Amino acid sequence: METVIKNIHLLKPLVSEEEIQKLEHCALQYRKFARIYFKILGAYAQGDKTVVTIDCWQEKSPAENYLDTKELFKRCSELFAPLYSNSKFQIHTNTRKYVPNPTEIVTPEYLRAMLLKHKIKQKTIAVETGIATANISAWVNGLRPMSESAKAMFYYYFELVELRLSNSNIDNYQRQRDKAQDEE
């Protein structure tokens, strides 16, 4: 059976089946509505306490309702309140807020702007990437949705173009500086 909280089986010897079901139900709500996920990293005895380490993170949400690490910690604390309130448990929580993927900026508008900015033709990208010109045209004109892989390819393609330009400018600057020093 698939569980909502990863590694929940580590808690089974420590809490009742009813509490496990409540945790799973509430975690499912967090996953559905806010894309918040939980994972039990470990549960071990340390003296008279049981140390439980929980990982809590948020992924990309269609509603774009993102929480900071403090709020994620609060939600994790609320979910695992039965453990937090029990003095025999010591809870450690790791939280990771959602960090947008840099490729999310890639849209047809972005592509058109970058092509114009760098004076690159769609055919050039087709030759350099091996992707059919018709596909590139459809993405640039918004006629076909881009997969995450296509967005990543375009993002890093233009990052490389900008890096090459930056290095070219540095090389030109160094040549001019070297020339000026030679003339002195």
Q: Which domains does the chain have, with CATH numbers?
A: 8-96 (3.30.70), 102-183 (1.10.260)
* In contact, 2 and 19? CB cutoff 8 Å: no
Query: What confidence tier does 166 reach under pLDDT thresholds 50, 70, 90?
Result: confident
Instruction: Determine the average pLDDT of the residues in 94-123.
Output: 94
pLDDT number for residue 159: 92
Please state, for a pLDDT cut of 90, what percent of the chain lies above it: 64
pLDDT number for residue 16: 87
